[in-house]
Structure formats: C-alpha cells, structure tokens
C-alpha cells in the first residue's frame, strides 16, 4: 500500500525566511505525488503535482517541490514566506497506474510570524 | 457557481438520526468524489462517481453510509443511524476527467457533529 508521512505536524517561520515542509512516501513503484493547501474555511487547493516528468516541480504562489527517489522524499519549499502562506499543507500520493483514492498525509500546520 | 458547493456547511444531529449532505460539483465535471476528514487527520477517500454510477465505493466505512448521483451532477451522501464517531468534515471534490488526468477541485466541506 502506498502512503505518505509528513514529518512535522507544526512548522513556524518568520516572514521573509525560507519554508521547508517535509514529506516522505512509501511506494513500490513511481507514484504520483501532490501538495495541497487548506486555508481556514476554504476548500483544499492544489499547489503542485509530480507525475514522473521533471523531478523539480514548480507550483503556485512561489512553492516548489523536488522528487528524490533515493530518499523517497517530496519536500515542499518556498524561498521567502509570506503571511498569507499560513495554512495547513497536505502531502498526497495517488496509486501507480492512476486509481481513485488519493492518500493524504496527516498535514503540516504552517505558522508565519512577523 | 464557480466552485464545488456543499450544503449544509454545518450540521449538528443526535446519535441515531439520519443525515443527508449535498454536493454540487463544477458544471461539466464528470467525476465526483467524497472524502472524510476527522480532526487532526488528512482526508480519507469514501467513494468516487463517474457520471451517475459509483465507480469505486470501497472507502465507505459500513452499510450505514450510502451516496447517490442520479443525474450525473449533484450528489448526496446519506448516513443512517448516525454515531458519534461519524463526526467529521465531509469533503466533496470534482474533476473534469477521471482520476488519472483531472485536478480535483474541493468544496469547503460539511462539518457534521453527532451528539
């Protein structure tokens, strides 16, 4: 079974400093991986996705993630945090070959301080 | 509307009661999904519709849960004999194509509280 592990339940950064949200995946084959963001009282929004093309994936709002097969990781980064980035972030895996069941991690709550 | 719409946004009910949650997907989206998000957890898959039919209902926890999409658009998630453990946010999502291609667009969810 495929799964993702988000290593930090909470991350706190200062505005203007880099963001790193960690995610490791477990999969027998090359999976499709995603990052979603959930702002308070808003629906989940897709930030970016990896589907076996380029290993460095750029998403919206300046976020990017790098797929590292040797480390089974798909960490989310942003060079400079903004107050509006405060939200919950979910790392997500989709089974190899497609399929309907996205498997979500437990989420990382990002706090951005002045 | 422009996005996925879910009603009610909040529902409080008593143990043993019947509940219906509605999802109105983005116009033209053929695929519709239900997920459940418990406190402190990521969303968990419940069921997937392609058109009017349930293509995959393997995530429904038991036979108290049922979902329909009779005309291939609006979907209703039905929960019979609710239990306190059913308390969660129920999320609906839709996509233009099937799960291999289309991005999932999520609604804001229906928060169910069973007392």
Cβ neighbours of residue B33 closer than 8 Å, sequence gap 6 or more: A100, B45, B46, B47, B48, B49, B92, B93, B94, B95, B104
Cα A55 to chain centroid, rounded:
14
Which tens digits make up the pLDDT trace of A25-36? Answer: 997 677 889 999
Chain A hits for B99, CB-CB cut-off 8 Å, are 94, 98-100, 102
A25 in B contact zone (CB under 8 Å): no
Q: What's chain A look like in SS3?
A: CCEEEECCCEEEEECCCCEEECEEEECCCCCEEEEEEECCCCCCEEEEEECCCCCEEECHHHCEEEEECCCCEEEEEECCCCHHHCEEEEEEEECCCCCCCCEECCCEEEEEEC
CA distance to partner chain B, nearest, from residue A57 (Å): 16
Q: What is the pLDDT of residue A35?
A: 96
Residues B56-112: pLDDT tens digits? 999 999 999 999 999 999 999 999 999 999 999 999 999 887 666 668 899 999 999
Asked if residue A4 has pLDDT above 60, the reply is yes
Cα nearest neighbour of A44 on chain B: B106
pLDDT at B1 over 60: no
Burial group, residue B99, by CB count within 10 angstroms (0-12, 13-18, 19+):
buried
B79 in Cβ contact with B68 (< 8 Å): no
Would you call A108 an interface residue with chain B, using a CB distance cutoff of 8 Å? no
User: A61, A74, A62, A60: which is closest to A32 by C-alpha?
Assistant: A74
Could you give the CA distance from residue A23 to residue B22 in angstroms, rounded to a whole number?
Answer: 33
pLDDT at B100: 65
Partner residue facing B59 (CB), from A98, A101, A105:
A101
Interchain proximity B99–A100, CB inside 8 Å: yes
pLDDT in tens, A44-101: 999 999 987 788 999 999 999 999 999 999 999 999 999 999 999 999 998 776 667 7
């Amino acid at each position: 079974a495929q799964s993702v592990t988000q290593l930090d339940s909470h991350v706190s950064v200062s505005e203007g400093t880099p963001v790193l949200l960690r995610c490791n995946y477990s999969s027998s084959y090359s999976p499709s991986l995603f990052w979603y963001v959930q702002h308070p009282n808003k629906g989940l929004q897709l930030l970016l996705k990896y589907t076996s093309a380029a290993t460095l994936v750029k998403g919206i709002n300046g976020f990017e993630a790098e797929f590292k097969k040797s480390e089974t990781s798909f960490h989310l980064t942003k060079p400079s945090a903004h107050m509006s980035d405060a939200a919950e972030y979910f790392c997500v895996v989709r089974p190899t070959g497609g399929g309907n069941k996205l498997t979500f991690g437990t989420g990382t709550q990002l706090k951005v301080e002045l | 509307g422009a996005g996925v719409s879910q009603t009610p946004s909040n529902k409080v009910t008593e143990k043993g009661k019947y509940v219906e949650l509605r999802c109105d997907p983005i116009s033209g989206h053929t695929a519709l999904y239900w997920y459940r998000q418990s406190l402190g957890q990521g969303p968990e898959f419940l069921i997937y519709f392609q058109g009017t039919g349930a293509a995959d209902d393997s995530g429904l926890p038991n036979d108290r849960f049922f979902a329909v999409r009779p005309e291939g658009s609006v979907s209703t998630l039905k929960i019979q004999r609710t239990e306190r453990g059913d308390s969660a946010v129920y999320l609906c999502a839709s996509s233009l194509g099937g799960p291999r291609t289309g991005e999932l667009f999520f609604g804001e969810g229906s928060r169910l509280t069973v007392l």
